[in-house]
Amino acid sequence: MLKAILIDDEPDCVQLLARELATHCPQVQVVGQATRSEDGLRLIQVVQPDVVFLDIEMPRMNGFQLLEKLGEIPFSLIFVTAYNEFAVKAFRFSALDYLLKPIDSQDLQEAVRKAERRQRIDDRQIASLRSQLHTHQLSDKIAVPYQQGVIFLPVNEIIYCESDSNYTKVIATQKRHYLLTRTLREVQEVLEERNFLRVHRQYVINLDHIKLFMKGEGTYLVMSNDVNIPVARNQKENLVQRFGWL
């Protein structure tokens, strides 16, 4: 069982989330609820939960300030927020899990499944998210959770991403390879804001790293690292129109 604490300044939201967890996530045991961040902080310190569902916008002490007071984050963290579309992109860029209000049961189940992996959270992920929400600008670096932890990789150094079952291989410059604990679809949702395109069910590529576009029966791209990437038929015309290639 995962021990969970729910922290939100709206009592109705806390009660609704508790009911949703009881209905859809039997592996989660809610061991504490708080509608004030100060109470939530004490609960975390006493209970030592496996996962915390945390609202960001709260009076007196917001979610970020609460995390600062904790210092280390030895539990899985799921932000619960009513933030806008930009914030969703910021969460993804920081590789942090979130739920949008009103909470969808399928999203909740997926967030809990991720929490069960107990991926350690790097302080820089929180700092990255906070900065992006404050400046309303996406970072030039993306948080990349992989098997050994989290790295912050400049987006322009990513050449392409390749699907590997429920994981994704990230191929970067200087012959660097990383195996992400994310599906290619999840990676695509993050990178499509930054001049990336899914050209095949197996590949998302950085358009800035295309070296050659080889048309013909088997259309493919030659990337900056001299790797050939196949182009699906339904994406071929998209590439031609985007770049004006003949």
Query: Does pTM top 0.85 for this prediction?
Result: no
Averaged pLDDT for residues 49-64: 89
CATH of domain 2-135: 3.40.50.2300
Which pLDDT tens digit goes with each residue over 75-100? 888 888 876 665 666 666 565 788 88
**Is there a common fold for 2-135 and 142-243?**
no
Averaged pLDDT for residues 36-50: 94
- Considering only residues 224 and 153, tell me which one the structure prediction assigns the higher pLDDT: 224
- What pLDDT is recorded for position 105? 94
Span of 107-116, 160-169, 218-227 with lowest mean pLDDT: 107-116
**Nearest of 197, 194, 173 to residue 184 by alpha carbon:** 197
Are 165 and 173 in contact, with CB atoms under 8 Å apart?
Answer: no
Q: Where are the domains of the chain?
A: 2-135, 142-243
- What pLDDT is recorded for position 221? 94
- What pLDDT is recorded for position 86? 55
- What pLDDT is recorded for position 234? 84
Span of 15-24, 39-48, 71-80 with lowest mean pLDDT: 71-80
The confidence band for 244, taking pLDDT boundaries of 50, 70 and 90, is: low
- What pLDDT is recorded for position 246? 46
- What pLDDT is recorded for position 68? 85
Which pLDDT tens digit goes with each residue over 149-206? 777 888 899 999 999 988 899 999 999 999 887 889 988 888 887 889 999 999 999 9
CATH topology classification for 142-243 = OB fold (Dihydrolipoamide Acetyltransferase, E2P) (2.40.50)
- What pLDDT is recorded for position 122? 64
Averaged pLDDT for residues 105-117: 87
